[in-house]
Structure 1
Amino acid sequence: MKNWIILSLLLTTLGCSQTPKVKHFSAQTLTNKAPTTFMHDGGWCWYQDPRAIIHQDKLIIGGISGQSGDIRVSVFDLKNNKIIGETVLDAAFEVDDHNAPVFYMRPDNRLVATWATHGKEKVHYYRISAPNDFLAWQSIQIHQHPFDKPKSSYWGGVTYMNLYTIEKQQRLYNFFRLGMDLNPYFSYSSNQGETWQGFTHFLQDDVAGKHRPYVKYSQITPNTIGVNFTDAHPRDYGNSLYYASFNGASFYRADGSKIKSLADGPLITKEAELIYQGSSLRKKPTGYGSMPNSAWTIDMETDQNKRPYLGYSVYLKDNDIRYRLAQWTGEKWLDREIAHAGSYLYKKESSYSGLLALDPTNPANIAISTDVNPTTGEHLKGQHEIYLATVAEFDDKNSIKWQPLTKNSRYRNIRPIIVAGHGYKVLMWMKGPFNHFQDYKTNIVGYVIGQPKKRQQ
């Protein structure tokens, strides 16, 4: 298949309210054009969302400086292809990629941003923008979560902000991890993020010992939130991977059958649908940085039929991580390996891959970051590069045609995301030196890969 066909497939099916204008780019055209810088000096982890949104022909990105620890917002003009401005929400907050801000766009065109430290405090911070001006913000507000943090413990606070809605309840949810038991909890706002209330245990791990589920959330419908999670950290346990959906009151399987009501307590990991069975190992073999056959969540989207797609990684051994894709066909889960993810980003977190991104308008379109040949696993002795492919139901690792979007890079290209809205679609990632979650110097770069069709006058 020709390179331009693969890339044009990534541009199709925008699935937005406006009719998309599809441009057919060849790989040569894209790789000959330098990626656009959407944010200077910004980075993020992958367990807080939405990190970027599109609104009023603007791409709004949140990140945290790897140099100063500033909580940052960049606004990019998609019509005129330029950064309008960058502003600081919270100066010198902390250099830690776990602290990146996330967003919610209110009906009055004001943006809500929330962020928190990496488990150090029992608070989350938030600001609300001026209407239609995402570089002008009201003062910082602080929400105190109602629990007692041990004074002697560094941990015990909240981390990983995630903003999603249940429209029928008129609630904006903030899902986060609590450091006390390392489980997911939530608070909510009934007034569009002006104030917050509640404190509810959402997921509960069932692995003996002190373990922490890692969760990705997705807005499936205005009244349904998808939840994809592990039962522990792959450094400590041979993780399995699970799925459920949540409607504000109860949990459900992909086929719509009810699992349990939240009123009966948090969802225990093993009560959800099992997607991938990990090794369940508790002791690492010699020479392994994580547990063999341990899964980790990366991304989740739904297709036009609101069926979930889950992109995740599996650690086999040091410098041999694999990407997998699980999709609900309407009758069953179809799960398979799709690519070699290659090497870890640093030794201590040997399950940290370059990550992948699913197209929110067609999750069969996938971007991955890897430093090896995605099909064969051959080490290319270079940096992590971005590859694209469209993965059909009948595809497996050997039949997928991965096409390189970046080549011969000086620095790593990692942690891609794809953002869509109002006819636009943008692929972006972190590019630059990345040594550790508190040691990086990256910009957010990428390509605008879809634009709305111009209306006739």
Structure 2
Amino acid sequence: MRTPKRIAVTTAATLAAAVGLGAPAPPAGGARGDGPIGAGAWSWFGDPRAVYYEGAHRRTYVGWISTHGNVRVASIDGDTGRIHTVTLKHGLGVDDHNDPSLLMLPGGRLEVFYSPHSGRFLPPKGIPKRMYYRVMRRPEDVTSFGSTHVLHTNTPGRLGWTYPNPVYLSREHRTWLFWRGGNWMPSFSTRRDGSSWTDARTLIRTRRGRRPYVKVASDGRRTIDIAFSEDNPDHIRTGIYYFRYRAGHYEHADGRRIPGGHPLDEFDADRVRPEKPGRASAWVHDVASDSQGKPAIVYVTYPSVHDLRYRYARWDGHRWLDHEIVAAGKPLNGPYAGGISLDHENPSIVYLSRRIHGVFEVEQWITVDDGRHWAHRAVTRHSSENNVRPVTPRGETGHYTVLWMHGRYRRYTEYVTTITRKGIGRAHRLF
């Protein structure tokens, strides 16, 4: 098995110094609020799963679907470590696709979107196909959520709403909501401050795939990054594609505008790693841009059913660079890897879960040369149960917090897992 180019322990100081991280140090921990938050799970296609906001308080907000099928949101106070948890909806269904997505609005009010996993035979009888949302009445207060609203627009078809991904662009005073729509294609609607939602439109319709999978990120001002794969790699051979929305137009990473309207397809977008005969399928896991607007994408490839690989694609200002990070090992279940995500405040930092001595462990990986070389450190180690689908809170800078699922995961409707949190120190203590 080929190994990636990695910085050895003896050269970690060189890498750390290059980004101002200081000398190597043991993994940090012991932050207030560390440990289990609540029993439940999440998918990686509905985001943000966690956000950070500093106003009157320094708080992290986390959402998940509980082991009993209830939508839950918690706030974790950064000063006291105190955790407040509320249930926004009972009985949405035991399915990790049902996890809520969190949007921090200007002024510190949290808006939360959630829907049941929907399709031809989903959700189960008695659970309606709907997209719900609720918003805080008081800033930074999870006990103040208002009444439940229902999104009354969708693309044609009877396949419901799945995977909400909300974004707020301050320059437009507009909320964008993306989801998998009634036609099973990535869909969206927008809402200006104080107005109603626009009619839903199909964002992407690939030429080969039945149901494209999309990841969304934003700078919160005028840009939305969009990365996608044509389908689930269990169904067809799949690749990785990218485009962005900026100031009223869709464009490539190099700034060239994409002509035409909706929907877009894989030939309109940047073909970061296009599918082709003889090439392993790829499945997108995350996208984010750095402070200069250069996007990064992390994804999984499938050379064989028992050999999954984590990869990192980065736009360097002229072209897409694409490098393997590390072998992910055997899947968690079906095509599911342990999970990989980007730090959205610094996409040179990656969090991933891979098998180590038969158990999935979470690690932090960092590159300073667009993915050519890597250094890494353990977030979890010597675990008795799996740690999967790590993610960092959006909006958190200057220190590092990781959240993940800990426990037994068999499939998307069978899990005994706990959302777990760990603070791993400030930037200068990373290595």
- TM-superposition CA deviations, 1:110-169 (whole Å, max 9, x none): 21111011114553101111212122211211122255654xxxxx11100000123333
Q: Which moved more, 1:272-281 or 1:296-305?
A: 272-281
- TM-superposition CA deviations, 1:161-217 (whole Å, max 9, x none): 00012333321011001142x21111122236x74332111111111xx61111000
2:270 aligned with 1:267 = no
Match of 1:358 in 2: 342
Query: Which of these residues, 190, 193, 199, is aligned with residue 191 of structure 1?
Result: 193
Contact 1:122–1:147 at 8 Å: present in 2 too?
Answer: no
2:53 aligned with 1:55 = yes
Match of 1:99 in 2: 98
Residue type matched to 2:198 in 1?
Q
- TM-superposition CA deviations, 1:351-390 (whole Å, max 9, x none): 2101112222221122210004xxxxxxx3x210112221
Contact 2:379–2:424 at 8 Å: present in 1 too?
Answer: no
SS in 1 for 2:171: helix
Identity in percent: 27
2:409 aligned with 1:440 = no
Give me the whole-angstrom Cα distance separating, in 1, the residues matched to 2:308 and 2:343.
22
Q: How does 1:230-269 map to 2 (within 5 A)?
A: 230-247=229-246, 249-261=248-260, 264-269=261-266
Residue type matched to 1:255 in 2?
D
- Are the structure 2 counterparts of residues 410 and 452 from structure 1 closer, same or farther at C-alpha, using a change threshold of 3 Å? closer
Give me the whole-angstrom Cα distance separating, in 2, the residues matched to 1:383 and 1:7.
30
Match of 1:388 in 2: 364
Contact 1:71–1:88 at 8 Å: present in 2 too?
Answer: yes
1:239 positional shift: 0.2
1:452 positional shift: 10
2:144 aligned with 1:136 = yes
Contact 1:7–1:27 at 8 Å: present in 2 too?
Answer: no
Match of 1:337 in 2: 324
1:278 positional shift: 2.5
SS in 2 for 1:403: strand
2:41 aligned with 1:43 = yes
Contact 1:7–1:388 at 8 Å: present in 2 too?
Answer: no
The root-mean-square deviation of aligned C-alpha atoms, in Å, is: 3.0
Q: How does 1:115-126 map to 2 (within 5 A)?
A: 115-119=114-118, 120=123, 121-126=128-133
Residue type matched to 1:222 in 2?
R
Contact 2:33–2:77 at 8 Å: present in 1 too?
Answer: no
Match of 1:75 in 2: 75
Give me the whole-angstrom Cα distance separating, in 2, the residues matched to 1:444 and 1:135.
20
1:109 positional shift: 2.4
TM (norm. structure 1) is: 0.82
1:260 positional shift: 2.0
Residue type matched to 1:174 in 2?
L
Give me the whole-angstrom Cα distance separating, in 1, the residues matched to 2:214 and 2:325.
21
TM (norm. structure 2) is: 0.86
2:148 aligned with 1:173 = no
Match of 2:275 in 1: 278
SS in 2 for 1:98: helix
- Are the structure 2 counterparts of residues 409 and 134 from structure 1 closer, same or farther at C-alpha, using a change threshold of 3 Å? same
Match of 2:167 in 1: 164
SS in 2 for 1:162: strand
Contact 2:130–2:160 at 8 Å: present in 1 too?
Answer: yes
- Are the structure 2 counterparts of residues 405 and 426 from structure 1 closer, same or farther at C-alpha, using a change threshold of 3 Å? closer
Match of 1:284 in 2: none
Residue type matched to 2:76 in 1?
F
Residue type matched to 2:218 in 1?
Q
Contact 1:9–1:390 at 8 Å: present in 2 too?
Answer: no
Give me the whole-angstrom Cα distance separating, in 2, the residues matched to 1:405 and 1:34.
16
Give me the whole-angstrom Cα distance separating, in 2, the residues matched to 1:104 and 1:38.
23
- Are the structure 2 counterparts of residues 176 and 127 from structure 1 closer, same or farther at C-alpha, using a change threshold of 3 Å? same
Residue type matched to 1:186 in 2?
F
Contact 1:166–1:248 at 8 Å: present in 2 too?
Answer: no
Residue type matched to 2:71 in 1?
I
Q: Which moved more, 1:113-122 or 1:85-94?
A: 113-122
Residue type matched to 2:202 in 1?
H
2:408 aligned with 1:421 = no
- TM-superposition CA deviations, 1:31-80 (whole Å, max 9, x none): x99992252112110011111111130110000002x1000001111112
Contact 1:211–1:231 at 8 Å: present in 2 too?
Answer: yes
Residue type matched to 2:173 in 1?
Q
User: Structure 1: which 5+ residue stretches go unaligned?
Assistant: 14-21, 151-155, 282-291, 373-379
Residue type matched to 2:226 in 1?
V
Residue type matched to 1:127 in 2?
R
